[in-house]
Structure 1
Amino acid sequence: MTIPSPAEIQAIMRSGVPLAGEWEVEVLAAEGGVALLRLPAKPNLLRPGNTISGPALMGLADVAMWAALLSTTNGRDDSVTSTMTVNFLRPAGSGPVLAQARIVKRGKRMLFGEILIRPEGSDDLSVHITTTWAVIAPQRGR
């Protein structure tokens, strides 16, 4: 199995989730079920208080988990997000931020993951996310 490069995963991600391209999300690393993504500072992602909005952070987390998954499936995947539990621990600031995603457990039908989001250049965790993804079975005859 060929492991796609971070640039290839970024292209897949931006094609599948065009909003990731609009936000200029970068895949810095992705291999073996772990991915590191960067969301640059963007004024249109800020909420009052000059910090990145919750929806932007949740979107980053979701595509980070997908990048981690793509790193284990030769860049092909038919899984979908089933649940996401988000714990906002402290403001992430005005950006940029890093999201590190990892697959915790992968079964035949479900995948469990964890995402940690921090301001770039800081060890202070801003957001802790756990997620479950459902593996979509291919339709018969396809």
Structure 2
Amino acid sequence: MSLVVNAEEMGAFLDEVFPQVTGMFGIDVLDEDRLVMRMFVRDEHLRPGGTVSGPSMFGLADVSAYVATMARIGKQALAVTTNCSIDFMRKPESGRDLLAHTRVLKLGRALSVCDVLIFSEGIEAPVARASLTYSLPPQRP
């Protein structure tokens, strides 16, 4: 699937439509095949025991599926998550950013289906896996 928005434009768009997450995420790779999105892990992402919280990992998965979809359809702020299933497989390594490796599996007129593997930076085994579906805004004539 070809891109209509590059990484720099996508980062600026994300800052514009979701200013509350400015500085929380970065785009490491964005090409026709995949997105690698980084969550800069900070104290507010941690839960007792020093691990990254489940809601923080969900947020990374959700934002990365949104970015991967928008990069392919263009800047349409009103796309919304309609489904998410996430499996937490192991404890993230403390002191490491999280990386979401995201693929758009299907992009239709109404839905985008994405697969996300989340890793602690530098660790080979994933810490979580998510499947997300986005509802896309209808095309206007």
Deviation, 1:33, is: 5.6
Write the distance in 1 (CA, Å) between the matches of 2:75 and 2:110: 18
Partner SS for 1:71: helix
Q: Between Structure 1 and Structure 2, how many residues are aligned?
A: 139
Write the distance in 1 (CA, Å) between the matches of 2:65 and 2:81: 9
Write the distance in 2 (CA, Å) between the matches of 1:2 and 1:91: 33
Residue 72 (structure 1) aligned with residue 86 (structure 2):
no
Q: 1:107 to 1:139 in 2, by over 3 A?
A: closer
Write the distance in 2 (CA, Å) between the matches of 1:17 and 1:93: 27
Write the distance in 1 (CA, Å) between the matches of 2:77 and 2:135: 11
State whether residues 86 and 128 of structure 1, in contact with CA within 8 Å, keep that contact through their aligned partners in structure 2. Answer: yes
Deviation, 1:136, is: 1.9
Deviation, 1:16, is: 1.8
Deviation, 1:18, is: 2.3
User: 1:137 maps to which residue?
Assistant: 138
Question: CA deviation digits over 1:19-73, x for unaligned, max 9?
Answer: 3215x21011212262111112311110011111111111111111111112212
Q: How does 1:1-142 map to 2 (within 5 A)?
A: 3-22=4-23, 24-32=24-32, 34-76=34-76, 78-94=78-94, 95-138=96-139
Write the distance in 2 (CA, Å) between the matches of 1:19 and 1:61: 16
Further displaced range: 68-77 or 55-64 = 68-77
Partner SS for 2:73: coil
Write the distance in 1 (CA, Å) between the matches of 2:127 and 2:70: 25
Write the distance in 2 (CA, Å) between the matches of 1:38 and 1:87: 19
TM-score (norm 2): 0.87
Write the distance in 2 (CA, Å) between the matches of 1:76 and 1:33: 20
Partner SS for 2:72: coil
Instruction: Give the aligned CA root-mean-square deviation in angstroms.
Output: 2.1
Write the distance in 2 (CA, Å) between the matches of 1:71 and 1:81: 16
Unaligned 5+ runs, structure 2 = none
Unaligned 5+ runs, structure 1 = none
Partner SS for 2:129: strand
Instruction: Name the amino acid aligned to 2:19.
Output: P
